[in-house]
Structure 1
Amino acid sequence: MKEKHVSLYERLPEIYRIKDQEQQPPFQLKSYLALVEKTFGAIHENIESLYHDLFIETSSDWVIPYIGDLLGTSHLSGDPWTLRADVADTIALRRRKGTLGAIELLTYNLTQWGMHCVELRENLVWNQHLNHQRQDEGGKPPYGLPSVTRHTVIRGGTVMLRDPAMLSLLNTPFDPFAHTADLKPQVFGNIRYNLPNLAIFLWRLNAYRIGISKPLPNPLTNGIVDNSLVATGTEAKFITQFYIHPLGEPVRLFNTYRFNPDIRPPVLSQIDETPGPIPTVRLTEDSAAGAPDKYVSIDIYGTTGPLNISDAGFQLYLPEPAFAGNTWTLRGANLCAWETGLQPTLKNREIAIDPVIGRIVIGIDTDAEAAALVDHLLLIYTYGAVGPVGAHPISRPSAAMEWNGEPVLFREVNFHQNPHGLRDSLSNIQDSTSPIVIEIKDSMIHELDVSDPALIGMLHEDGGFNLQLNRSLIIRAADDHRPIIRLTQPLRFRPTHVKGTNPDEQKQFDAIMANLTVRLEGLYITRSENWAATNPPGTPLIVRAALHHLEIFDCTLDPGGSRELDGTPEGKRAPIHPSMRIREPYGFANSAEEEAFNQIPEIILHRTITGPLFIDTGYRLFLTDSIIDAGSGVNDDPATAVFAISGAGDPSASWGPPSQVSGITVFGRMRVEGIHGRGGIWVHTLEVLDNQKGCMKFSYFSGNGDRLPQNHGCVKGTEAHLRFVSEVFGNPAYGQLDHTTDFRIRERGPNDDAMGAFGFLMEAHKWRNIRIRYREFMPVGVRPLLIPVT
């Protein structure tokens, strides 16, 4: 831990500081020492950094290969964390070279992916030699042993079909069944059961856990189904139905990852403790191979005291006193047709979970209990995503206490303490003389209606209510939270003061506008349930940004387009919604203010998922590591592809703003005035008005009607195959490049890594690094097979 810096003056004996204060004028010695304090501090900091560079845990990134040279390790490239971990564990891995634990630890150090190693020779079927029979205990056949049941897998026997949970393990990393030898050549992602083969299963998707949230009761039934006509007394009289996602969208439930790389010697990854999708059949308690306690926990909470949080991927919290002391049973089920009921019938105190689409039903005995669940049931759930693009509950640094040299006014919002905390924090912001930081410390839904009378200071202009700003505004998610902001009306931002009454006042207002920034960080922003009733069709989430900067970091501006769960044909998606339509001029009703507004607003999106952006040329657009989704995929007809980025007027006849891009994925057409950058993937046409300026590097273009500036190191769809694992917003692998994608797209982007929004994850480096290390650590004759699970 870095020690607190002590100034030279504070190091003096206290008697000298007292005498210095008594001098006329006072603090002469303090002023004298301040002259050399900066130089002394620089020397002190340099000496301290030299000491830290002696240790791999604290050294600067450039020192890592030099420490590696002392240990004789070959040089790798990629993420500094993985390089540091690789060098730190070099000696430990060499001591355990050839063991499964060493391979798993090595793989984790180089990738931070979930992994599990299996010696496939152990899964081969075998027959006894008649001259050297291995008798069973007591000479009885296997099924005669007391420990063996009809569900037990006998190595070398036939596959057991009686237990779906056990059968679900077939051809998975934890397959208990025996297989015949597979002599076919190695193919990426295929399991080849053979003597020399070592299967290394990899979970590449990240598992993100949402904190305390409230599920959505089924709107069609208000969450309660009266089942009181059931004749037997064992079935539930009432059934409550919930969507796990607070907005009712489909969500694939994942389990949490519980591998501990710090344990020595390393412990192998265990079944049901990997960061993958929760298997439905293993949630059933009645199954011999079911393990619901590994995935689900149930607890009772009261009005006081913190909730008990376990390691399970899915956690339910039932309200006290209605359910205190109850015992519950769990069942994995397909709830796609939950309106028709379950077979067998749901019992009282039984919970059925569908982890594939994110639904749960709970059987209870009284309407009072049903109402208690609808009103007070809380959840913690885990879902999967490729990486931290969009709003996710990730670790964040503490909020800055200064902004542009001014101390900030910090406001904390917690839904559990005040459901209207966000609205209250935004009231009177038009008069603030300090930048405002609003930090949301929960993962609940915050309703925001900018026309609410409680939001004092909202100005009706440009066709709606505007948030007036006298200083910068930052709204951010707290560490490990993902709050949802549901809008009733689109967001509009403008300065409080634009036109001054005299030159001095105008100069003051210009200085404020030159630094006026709105930053949204880690927020999931979507539309309210009555959005369509109060706004014209196609109304975007943000329609005005009369500012110097609009910064959107790590956010999701809900683009729509997720899979429908209403019984429509398979593959049908919800409609795509635009996220921004920002026009020029800048929306001031007063012509004098329009003329006085002297900024060129900059729209900055960083690691954000958004719907279509329609922005006029009077702005500047900066896109980094983001996905812009207009719903047009790789296989869609280019003639019918819709616009992802264009002007605020007719998209086919107007041009979007000058843009700078770095590592973006665009599902749709893009039409802008000018562009430069690198690492982009344009699934459909990119048109640039001024193609005499700018340069694009290491990017993918569709090759269909593109109008491009000069480009270098780029590939086109006419010569390179592009494919995503999923193009549907909300799917775990949304935006992930498939392994069949042309290697130039996967490995020849910026910094010799992947193009697109997830290039910063440096997956190509990870693949290269583990192959290099496997050649060094793998025992002679062992053939590693890399098999991605997700």
Structure 2
Amino acid sequence: MNRITPDALYELLPAVHRLRDADEGEPLRQLISVLAREGAVVEENIEQLFDNLFIETCAPWAVPYIGGTIGYRTLYQVEGLPVGNRSEVAHLIGYRRRKGTAAVLEQLARDVTGWPARVVEYFERVATCQHMNHIRPDHHATPDLHDPLDFEALGGAFDYVTRSIDVRSIEQSDGRSSVGGRHNLPNVGLHLWRLLPFTHTNVPTTRIGPRRFLFDPLGAPRQLVNRPEAEESIRTLAQPVNVPGAVTRRALHADPALYYPRAFEIFVNNAAVPVEDIVACDLSNDGAVWNHSPHVDPLGPDVRVDPELGRIAFRNANPGDVRVTYRTAFPALIGGGEYNRAADLVNPPGLQMVEISDPTTDLDAELAQIQDGGVLVLTANEVFTAPTTLTVDSGAQVIVRAADGVRPILRATQPLLISGGADARVTLDGLTLDGVAPAAPSVSVDPDPAGEMLTGITLRHMTLIPGQGFTRTGAPVAPEAVSLAITATGVEVLIDRSVTGRIEMADTVNAEIRDSIVDAAAAESIDSAEVRAIWGLNSDDPAGALTIIASTVIGQVFARAFPLVSDSILFARSETDPPVRAMRRQEGCMRFSFVPRGSITPRRYRCQPQLAIDQAIEAREIEIGGPLSDAERDLIAGRIARWLVPVFTALSASAPAYAQLHLMRPREIARGASDESEMGVYHQLFQPQRETNLRLRLEEFLRFGLEAGLFFET
């Protein structure tokens, strides 16, 4: 259908009317323009009605109606995720044609949860006595010890080693192999990968020596992961190339072409290194040097790669400009990254825009040109020298951000000092800040020379590395260092989908933290909760009013007030000071969050572990028919407080599963948020709802007599 335009509609009028209209100043043309605009609305609506006939193009509201024509049953809506009913309805007829097969269950798991999946029929991996008329030569009762590659996959989705029978119920696995059984004839396992692959495109490496380089520009060890390749058909089962699994040394050695350049690619002087020159190698530390480096064999491969540590060793010294493209894993789209941020990019009208791709550009000079208002956009995956001063005129707004799909790194040698006049605002978006001078904050918000105060600062999709940087082992360079210090008074702070270290602020500063991680970064990650995360500028002074929504704070918190803490984890412990403390307990509320025992806070609503303690005491009082003594109450409280604490997969910011709740976490935290999702920063993923949806679908498509269990690979 041709789109209705004012000119096309006006040309349909007789020429005599158009001539007279021109003599009168074209009032008829203006009327036709109004009619054309309304006609275009009607035309678009008609086209949408036609699109609504097809599941691929219909509006979201029409999906359940199309599904209803083929008997589709809706599930829990997972808001804000690229999964839902559309893909299920599109594949439903195909599901039913192959109902009960492993390939359908695998596709179903991907469509329902959005996680890559691999289905394993465990009857094929149970040691059995074979019938002599139907011998299976590949079905060995014992593994072949000659090939160590087979043993790397033990316990995973691609483990082909047979086992003796396990009669425990696989349905009780809850994602953990140690809880439920696997190897039994009626058992089917759905293995799921929850971590997302993050791409780093054509980024500079970290040079360690003449021959040694690190993939990560930040200098941390990185586990490389595979870029998932779409399966050609619903009839096939996923293979290692179809999932974002970790690339191991042995797997890379067995088939370099399988992962190069899918998982990583190396460029020397802008020329890609051919796969024939790549070999897997163990480049772990051997004293002050690396294993197997340097290598001087003239007949051997030119480049040795350790995909488990993210290391590269060249045969020849000083090979040139080394850049890489590689993939790592992370639980969610937060912090600086190349993921899609288009929905959050804002360009206020009237502000000049400056785009910079050259890493040698003086950013201080560029920021000085737009201090009366402007947008500075970094458009390249480069390591820029961080600016030292960002000053904003009164009433102006300055935005410093990364272009969509780009992850620039700002490397600092001294703090970034931000100041501005009255009604001035600053936004930092999509950047990664690495390094700073010792004993100084990464970002400092101060009054301007005239004594005026900045009105607001926003950190969105930012990474202020906890500990200000990484050592070669991935530990923080400066444990407990301050990432953000705000000495200006009356500033409104928004931290949204970001990762930051310790924060210090004046008691008149109000901060809102959403979908973010605030990590005090102790030297040993297991002790991170012992140090202070958000505090006043002096140890005896509180921060301002803190609003914390769906975030994870690792460390102690001392604030003037908590207007609202919801769906969050405040992970801290202290033997001397309260781990979380509010000066004004009459203001605000804490709800559906983990708040450590001994904290001094406003009133709490369904917060753990206090909720579990109260419920246990109430149940005990009902059981004995009377009140408990103080000693009995303390005994119950102490027993519950010891086990009802968050358990994380990793607390190091360089780890792939950073701040992710461990599979052994208490259910009260994993499903304790206001909408029965998990508490903390990954509340936004709605993982419990996705798991529940999959279990509901399995009841419909699993063959009678079989049992299914879910196992999380990441």
By the TM > 0.5 criterion, same fold?
yes
The CA distance in 1 between the partners of 2:700 and 2:677, in whole Å, is: 23
The CA distance in 2 between the partners of 1:656 and 1:59, in whole Å, is: 50
One-letter identity of the residue aligned with 1:699: S
Q: How does 1:42-57 map to 2 (within 5 A)?
A: 53-57=52-56
Corresponding residue of 1:510: none
Residue 319 (1) aligns with residue 288 (2): no
> Which of 323, 335, 339 is the matching residue for 2:284?
335
Residue 444 (1) aligns with residue 382 (2): yes
> Which of 197, 221, 243 is the matching residue for 2:214?
243
One-letter identity of the residue aligned with 2:222: V
Corresponding residue of 1:491: 416
Corresponding residue of 2:199: 209
Question: How far off is 1:387 after superposition?
Answer: 0.8
Give a deviation string over 1:628-661, Cα, whole Å, max 9, x none: 00136996497xx2221122x213x212122222
Identical amino acids, percent of aligned pairs: 24
The CA distance in 2 between the partners of 1:624 and 1:693, in whole Å, is: 20
Residue 183 (1) aligns with residue 167 (2): yes
Residue 274 (1) aligns with residue 243 (2): yes
Question: How far off is 1:205 after superposition?
Answer: 0.6
Q: How does 1:707-746 map to 2 (within 5 A)?
A: 707-716=600-609, 719=640, 720-746=644-670
Q: How does 1:229-628 map to 2 (within 5 A)?
A: 240-260=211-231, 263-284=232-253, 290-297=254-261, 312-319=262-269, 327-337=276-286, 339-340=288-289, 342=291, 346=295, 347-348=297-298, 349-364=301-316, 370-371=317-318, 373=319, 375-397=320-342, 402-403=347-348, 406-415=349-358, 419-420=360-361, 422=363, 425-431=366-372, 435-450=373-388, 466=391, 471-495=396-420, 498=421, 514=423, 516-527=424-435, 531-532=437-438, 537-544=439-446, 546-560=453-467, 564-565=471-472, 575-585=479-489, 600-628=490-518
Query: Secondary structure of the equivalent of 2:675?
Result: helix
Q: Label 1:185 to 1:783 Cα distance change in 2 as closer, same or farther (>3 A).
A: closer
The CA distance in 2 between the partners of 1:160 and 1:492, in whole Å, is: 62
The CA distance in 2 between the partners of 1:560 and 1:381, in whole Å, is: 24
The CA distance in 2 between the partners of 1:397 and 1:102, in whole Å, is: 34
> Which of 176, 186, 189 is the matching residue for 1:196?
186
Q: Label 1:524 to 1:35 Cα distance change in 2 as closer, same or farther (>3 A).
A: same
Query: Secondary structure of the equivalent of 2:543?
Result: coil
One-letter identity of the residue aligned with 1:521: D
Note if contact 2:335-2:463 (Cα within 8 Å) is conserved in structure 1.
Answer: yes
One-letter identity of the residue aligned with 2:193: W
Note if contact 2:554-2:571 (Cα within 8 Å) is conserved in structure 1.
Answer: yes
Query: Secondary structure of the equivalent of 1:745?
Result: helix
Q: Label 1:664 to 1:342 Cα distance change in 2 as closer, same or farther (>3 A).
A: closer
Q: Label 1:185 to 1:99 Cα distance change in 2 as closer, same or farther (>3 A).
A: closer
Q: Label 1:66 to 1:272 Cα distance change in 2 as closer, same or farther (>3 A).
A: closer
The CA distance in 1 between the partners of 2:21 and 2:357, in whole Å, is: 46
Query: Secondary structure of the equivalent of 1:293?
Result: helix
Q: Label 1:296 to 1:468 Cα distance change in 2 as closer, same or farther (>3 A).
A: farther
Q: Label 1:441 to 1:268 Cα distance change in 2 as closer, same or farther (>3 A).
A: farther
Q: Label 1:116 to 1:656 Cα distance change in 2 as closer, same or farther (>3 A).
A: same
One-letter identity of the residue aligned with 1:747: R
Corresponding residue of 2:588: 694
The CA distance in 1 between the partners of 2:56 and 2:548, in whole Å, is: 34
Query: Secondary structure of the equivalent of 1:91?
Result: helix
Corresponding residue of 2:532: 643
Note if contact 2:293-2:313 (Cα within 8 Å) is conserved in structure 1.
Answer: no
Give a deviation string over 1:684-725, Cα, whole Å, max 9, x none: 222222222222221111122x22222323222754332111
Corresponding residue of 1:72: 71
Query: Secondary structure of the equivalent of 1:412?
Result: strand
Query: Secondary structure of the equivalent of 2:515?
Result: strand
One-letter identity of the residue aligned with 1:292: P
Note if contact 1:77-1:83 (Cα within 8 Å) is conserved in structure 2.
Answer: no
Gapped runs of 5+ residues in structure 1? Answer: 137-141, 143-153, 225-239, 285-289, 298-311, 365-369, 452-464, 499-512, 586-599
Gapped runs of 5+ residues in structure 2? Answer: 448-452, 573-578, 611-636
Question: How far off is 1:763 after superposition?
Answer: 0.5
Question: How far off is 1:772 after superposition?
Answer: 0.3
Give a deviation string over 1:479-511, Cα, whole Å, max 9, x none: 33211111233223334xx5xxxxxxxxxxxxx
Question: How far off is 1:265 after superposition?
Answer: 3.5
The CA distance in 2 between the partners of 1:423 and 1:573, in whole Å, is: 26
Note if contact 2:368-2:391 (Cα within 8 Å) is conserved in structure 1.
Answer: no
The CA distance in 1 between the partners of 2:503 and 2:528, in whole Å, is: 21
Residue 778 (1) aligns with residue 702 (2): yes
Q: Label 1:388 to 1:361 Cα distance change in 2 as closer, same or farther (>3 A).
A: same
One-letter identity of the residue aligned with 2:75: L
> Which of 88, 94, 97 is the matching residue for 2:96?
94
Corresponding residue of 1:503: none
Question: How far off is 1:192 after superposition?
Answer: 1.5
RMSD of aligned C-alpha atoms? 3.3
TM-score, reference length from structure 1: 0.76
> Which of 171, 174, 177 is the matching residue for 2:155?
171
